[in-house]
């Protein structure tokens, strides 16, 4: 394992003592940063994702500029889907648009076999480059979308609020749903394992949309597949982060599905989440919109979150979702400095 200048993020993942509360952000490299906008002005998102030099650059630039305690590789959760024959495009202001949505068993059966080496070599190359450029300054996080979240994009064909088509397949075509989730789970495991072998220090499973499900449906239609992924990744020896949005009602089941760290959004307080999850590391949970306010508001809300931690080991400060494009970079930098300074003086 790399001997990092700053390993507080990894220590917190394993619930060990840290010098201060570590902090990083989802969508850490994004449109709110001038360094990213300069790269984006000349390249679309997929070009950045598929060009290792560009992916590594925006990954490392954001980490350095913000002073955060972990980098996360710049990629998109949709990337491995092209490898299994599911074409898509990323539309600004809309999100992923799938060319031929999956709606029935015949569509599922057309899904191809995934090979990280053949289908996403640019991701593992970007990871290796980013690690070289970070030069031991901070750990690097790899990630993937979870089976339900990727399935919802494939079935709906575009971002959805109610996931009606997805739920219709779950309820009306359970065999097709099971086969789809099985194939996606295998793909995701292979994808994350390839990232671990390329050198990432932690992996995050983004089950962003699972919060739309009832506890019963999550347990029946999603939990077994996430659990299989986490169990198969355990021998990799890196922290496994389990993240979702709007998941207060299914946290207990998410804990059963697995993970070493749980990403929590702002709809539940950290102490309440700990009461449900038990003795485990937690990541979160400032509302991203708070960063659109002034620093005084950000500090007040951050103090409230830190007070909920109550001195427990295993807290990683983060937002409850990604940084909003309208966010001032100065507010983000100030938050990093505030968390470091506030928690360092308490120890």
Q: Please give the Cα distance from 312 to 304 (Å, whole number).
A: 15
The residue assigned the tokens 């350095």 is 64
**Residue in 11, 32, 40, 191 annotated catalytic:** 40
The verdict on whether 31 is a catalytic residue reads: yes
153 is catalytic: yes
Cis peptide before 118 (omega within 30 of 0): no
Whether 283 contacts 261, CB under 8 Å: yes
240 given a catalytic annotation: no
What the block records as the tokens of 233 is: 């990744």
Closest CA to 75 of 121, 134, 24, 132: 121
Q: Strands 202-207 and 315-316, how do they pair? A: unpaired
Which entry of 11, 27, 183, 240 is annotated as an active-site residue?
27
Say whether 301 is catalytic.
no
**Could you give the strand order of the β-sheet that contains 140-145, starting from the edge strand earlier in sequence?**
71-72, 140-145, 202-207, 240-244, 261-263, 281-283, 315-316
Choose, from 7, 61, 69, 76, the residue flagged as catalytic. Answer: 76
User: Is residue 32 among the annotated active site residues?
Assistant: no
The CA distance from 318 to 166, in Å, is 29
Active-site residue, selected from the candidate residues 7, 11, 36, 153: 153
Look up residue 1 and give its two tokens. Answer: 């394992």
Q: Which residues are catalytic?
A: 27, 31, 40, 76, 153
């Amino acid at each position: 394992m790399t001997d990092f200048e700053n390993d507080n993020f990894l220590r917190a993942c394993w619930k060990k003592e840290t010098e201060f509360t570590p902090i990083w952000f989802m969508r850490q490299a994004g449109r709110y940063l001038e360094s990213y906008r300069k790269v984006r002005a000349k390249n679309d998102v997929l070009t950045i994702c598929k060009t290792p030099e560009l992916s590594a650059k925006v990954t490392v630039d954001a980490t350095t500029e913000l002073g955060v305690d972990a980098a996360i590789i710049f990629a998109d959760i949709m990337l491995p889907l092209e490898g299994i024959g599911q074409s898509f495009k990323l539309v600004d202001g809309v999100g992923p648009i799938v060319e031929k949505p999956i709606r029935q068993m015949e569509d599922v059966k057309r899904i191809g076999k995934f090979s990280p080496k053949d289908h996403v070599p640019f991701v593992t190359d970007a990871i290796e480059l980013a690690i070289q450029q970070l030069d031991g300054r901070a750990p690097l996080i790899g990630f993937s979308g979870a089976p339900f979240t990727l399935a919802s994009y494939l079935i709906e064909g575009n971002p959805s609020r109610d996931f009606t088509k997805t739920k219709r397949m779950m309820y009306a075509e359970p065999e097709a749903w099971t086969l789809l989730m099985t194939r996606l789970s295998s793909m995701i495991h292979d994808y994350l394992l390839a990232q671990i072998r390329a050198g990432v220090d932690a992996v995050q499973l983004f089950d962003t949309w699972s919060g739309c499900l009832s506890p019963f449906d999550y347990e029946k239609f999603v939990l077994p597949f996430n659990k299989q992924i986490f169990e198969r990744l355990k021998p990799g020896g890196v922290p496994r982060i389990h993240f979702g949005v709007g998941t207060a009602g299914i946290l207990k089941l998410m804990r059963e599905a697995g993970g070493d760290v749980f990403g929590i959004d702002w709809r539940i307080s950290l102490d309440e989440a700990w009461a449900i999850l038990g003795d485990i590391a937690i990541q979160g949970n400032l509302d991203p919109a708070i960063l659109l306010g002034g620093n005084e508001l950000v500090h007040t809300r951050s103090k409230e979150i830190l007070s909920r931690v109550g001195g427990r080991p295993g807290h990683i400060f983060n937002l409850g979702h990604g940084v909003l494009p309208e966010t001032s970079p100065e507010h983000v930098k100030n938050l990093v400095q505030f968390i470091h300074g506030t928690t360092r003086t308490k120890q």
